[in-house]
Structure 1
Amino acid sequence: MSAHQYDHGHTVAGWTGFGIATVGTAALGVGVCTVSGAWLALGFVIVAGALLVTWTLHLAGWGKPSGRRPREEWPMRARDSQARQGHAGCLGCRLAGRGRREVVPDVVTVPASEPVLLASAAE
């Protein structure tokens, strides 16, 4: 049972990414304070790794979609049941080729009740 009444999005993907990114930003801080290019490069690599690890865990179902989740999916260790199909409006899912797309008709029909005059550029 949760101590709070709202789903704050605590997920394995979120906390893992946060932990790795914290180490990366600490390395960046050391690089800034010591004026060391090697520490700065290491920090950037670790932060980029945090992004990739978080994305991979999200696609594996350890993240959460945007918006509210049912109460039974609130615990941190609950896996996302929609991750395989992709989340609507999720950039990470779209980048992986999983995003749900809206069906757009190939042909748009316009009622022919009145003719449409187009202005030319020569006028």
Structure 2
Amino acid sequence: MSLYDEGHTIAGWTGFGIAAVGSGVVGLGVCAASLPLVVGGLAVVAVSVLVTWVLHLSGWGKPPGVRPRDQWGMRIRDARAREGHTGCVSCRLAGRGRRMGVPVPVPGAVPAESIPLSPVE
């Protein structure tokens, strides 16, 4: 069982859905040899990046790395999003990021070393 819960967020799935539609429009434009469809599809993909970024900054995206199991649910909003996440490119681009190496205490967090990775351990 992995300790990571990457991408299982409202921001991630919303961005994926929009990008999938945009990719489909680009593919349709290539098959139809239509430059306006290709450009329109690329614009939809660019919008998906912006929507994902805004949702992440509003707390619907999670920071990279290990999180406690009680914060793995998709409908759990990240309360620490306003301060920025350590090592998060999106937060740094918004001017919120913390410097790398500064530990951030997470209430109820269990160190990864103390969690067994398999039933054998």
Please indicate, yes or no, whether the TM-score normalized by the shorter chain is above 0.5: yes
Compute the RMSD of aligned alpha carbons: 1.8
- What stretches of structure 1 move > 6 A for 4+ residues in a row? none
AA of the residue aligned to 1:84: R
SS of residue matched to 1:77: coil
2:87 alignment partner in structure 1 = 89
The alpha carbon displacement at 1:75 in A equals 0.8
**For structure 1, which runs of at least 5 residues remain unmatched after alignment?**
103-123
The alpha carbon displacement at 1:101 in A equals 2.8
The alpha carbon displacement at 1:88 in A equals 1.1
The alpha carbon displacement at 1:57 in A equals 0.2
Q: Does 1:70 align with 2:68?
A: yes
SS of residue matched to 1:88: coil
SS of residue matched to 1:43: helix
**For structure 2, which runs of at least 5 residues remain unmatched after alignment?**
101-121
1:108 alignment partner in structure 2 = none
Paired residues of 2:14 and 2:52 also in contact (CA < 8 A)? yes
* Number of equivalences: 100
Q: Does 1:30 align with 2:18?
A: no
Cα 1:67–1:5 shift into 2, 3 Å: closer
Task: Write out aligned runs for 1:39-50 (5 A).
Answer: 39-50=37-48
Distance 1:5 1:92 in 2: 24
Distance 1:5 1:89 in 2: 20
Larger radius of gyration: 1
- When the two structures are superposed, what TM-score results if normalisation uses the length of structure 1? 0.75
- When the two structures are superposed, what TM-score results if normalisation uses the length of structure 2? 0.77
AA of the residue aligned to 2:12: G
Paired residues of 1:62 and 1:79 also in contact (CA < 8 A)? yes
Paired residues of 1:9 and 1:74 also in contact (CA < 8 A)? no
SS of residue matched to 1:83: coil
Q: Does 1:58 align with 2:39?
A: no
- The percent identity for this pair of structures is 60
